[in-house]
Amino acid sequence: MKEAEDHERVLPGHAYIAPGGYHMRIARSGANYLIALSDEAPVNRHRPSVDVLFDSATEHVGRNAVGVILTGMGRDGAAGLLSMKHAGATTFAQDEASCVVFGMPKEAIVLGAVIHILPLAQMAEQVVALLAHGGRALRI
């Protein structure tokens, strides 16, 4: 896991964290995915905004994307996760029992953006299992 850098190539097996004060998007350059950072206006009162990231995943990754929304306040990410789901991506949300704050996952669930609802302790295992099966749907 590392803080993302602008124009950095997205590599398999790596996790990138948006730097404070910057939106993070996925962009495409040929066969490569790149990180694009911007200090544009906040979205949903946030910068970085999860919706910005999820919307870019919808546009550039489509059904090959996997969206995960975890504990947090507000509804940032819910609309973007719904867009990902509509594009054919597999979507996950943390369950209420394992959340510190159920706001973000709840909003995504209520909106119909979530396919799988899991406790935090099972999330990584299930996402990795999905990716190991080539992104095909799993019975969870």
**Domain positions in the chain:** 2-132
Give the phi and the psi of residue 128 in degrees, each rounded to 5: -60, -40
* pTM reported for the whole predicted model: 0.92
- The pLDDT of 58-85, averaged and rounded, is 96
Burial of 64 (0-12, 13-18, 19+ CB in 10 A): middle
Residue with tokens 């962009």: 27
Give the confidence band of 138 by pLDDT, cuts at 50, 70, 90: low
* Residues 74-121: tens digit of each pLDDT: 999 999 999 999 999 999 999 999 999 999 999 999 999 999 999 999
Class of domain 2-132: alpha beta
pLDDT at 140 over 60: no
For the record, the structure tokens of 3 come out as 């803080």
* Residues 9-55: tens digit of each pLDDT: 999 889 999 999 999 999 999 999 999 999 999 999 999 999 999 99
Whole-angstrom distance, CA of residue 138 vs CA of residue 7? 33
For position 12, what pLDDT does the model report? 86
For the record, the structure tokens of 30 come out as 């040929």
Q: What is the 3-state secondary structure (H, E, C) of the chain?
A: CEECCCCCECCCCCCEECCCCCEEEEEEECCEEEEEEECCCCECCECCCHHHHHHHHHHHCHHHCEEEECCCCCCCCHHHHHHHHHCCCEEEEECHHHCCCCHHHHHHHHHCCCCEEECHHHHHHHHHHHHHCCCCCCCC
Whole-angstrom distance, CA of residue 40 vs CA of residue 17? 17
